[in-house]
Amino acid sequence: MARFAYGGQALMEGVLMRGRDAIGVAVRGPDGQIFGAQEPLNSVLHRNRFARAPLFRGVVVLYETLVIGTRWLMRSGSLAAAGEGVAMGGRAVALTFAFTIVFALGLFVLLPLLAAQGATNAMVSGGNALIQHLIEAFVRIVIFVGYLLVVSRSPDIRRVFQYHGAEHMTIHTLEHELPLTVENARRYPTAHPRCGTEFLVSIVLFSLLAGQSLLVSIVGRILLIPVVAAVAYEVLRWGAKHRENWAVRWLFLPGIWLQSITTKQPDDSMIEVAIASMHEALAANGEAAPEGSLEIERVPMPEAKDLARDVEARNDEATADLTGGPETVAAQATSAVGVAAAADVTAPADVSSAPDPGIVGSSGTAS
């Protein structure tokens, strides 16, 4: 059965799946339960009759990724913080979002431009547009790949990259009309052909501004972002339809190589979250999952502040149970000493030398 080409993105401990008319979200909660949610895509851009026209649809996807995708990324981060009993306010989320946008523009757009202009002027008297563009492209690639390699070493970011891989594996499974199960998802790679080329397209389009003044180059690059998204989306769709051609596969290899960084091999619990997210997206878009798909129990997505309040209340209750009074504390201390003596346990002299529980046992291999 032909389906709309579902897409998605990784969240903090979760996955967002995007369909034609709505999105589905699933996030792993602090107690191991899976939160599920659906949201219609009813923006003005999405409702407009030009929204699905070539080139226009790429701009729509860019808008939905920046606004809806980033909002859910922030919400999933708030839920993760709430799992530690910390409530993030709306102001903190807004400031984080603004800082992220400014940081990305500065690091991936402005810094390569300034570095290229400086290097070109030093190498060639009066500058050279072609040399400047080649240097800028090289610097942008080095910064982008280097940044991904650095952040991928963080345990938290690595988990996001694992969820990214789970998202792709689940989409592969749906596109082959197989039941959405962990076993079927394991048959497919973490890379997906409809991911990872926007950055490469930007190098080509930004060449139109090579040799311009600094102000024109900066403003022009920012204004070109929607054009990059529009062209990249069409390139991705075309490439996905002609993937059997060896020349097309070769052309898209850089995007696949890049996904070796941005996706990692997920564990089974992460694939379950991705499958739950796909179930939410399919239901929201009026479709059914392939017969035999794994049904995963989900509960409605809570507000982060409510979750933080519940976690804090449970922690207070646990603390009260452990510190019921002087006699209770003395009994607990005696019991702890007895257990340690019986087991002959010796604590490490330097606690910092103990392995990080967030790293030990993590799986690894990212889109």
Read out DSSP for 221-278? HHHTHHHHHHHHHHHHHHHHHTTTSHHHHHHTHHHHHHHHHH--PPPHHHHHHHHHHH
Per-10-residue mean pLDDT of the chain, 367 residues long, equals 78 94 93 93 75 82 82 87 67 73 80 78 65 79 88 92 96 95 96 74 70 76 83 82 83 84 95 97 95 94 80 71 50 36 35 34 37
Chain position carrying tokens 């790949």: 145
Contact predicate 294/180, CB 8 Å: yes
Task: State the pLDDT at residue 116.
Answer: 77
pLDDT score at 322 = 63
Cα–Cα distance between 249 and 3 in angstroms, integer? 23
Q: What is the pTM of this model?
A: 0.75
Return the pLDDT at 174. 96
Distance CA 139, CA 141 (A): 5
Q: What is the pLDDT of residue 316?
A: 67
Can you tell me whether residue 10 is helix, strand or coil?
A: strand
pLDDT at position 161 is 95
Query: Do residues 217 and 113 make contact, with C-beta atoms less than 8 angstroms apart?
Result: yes
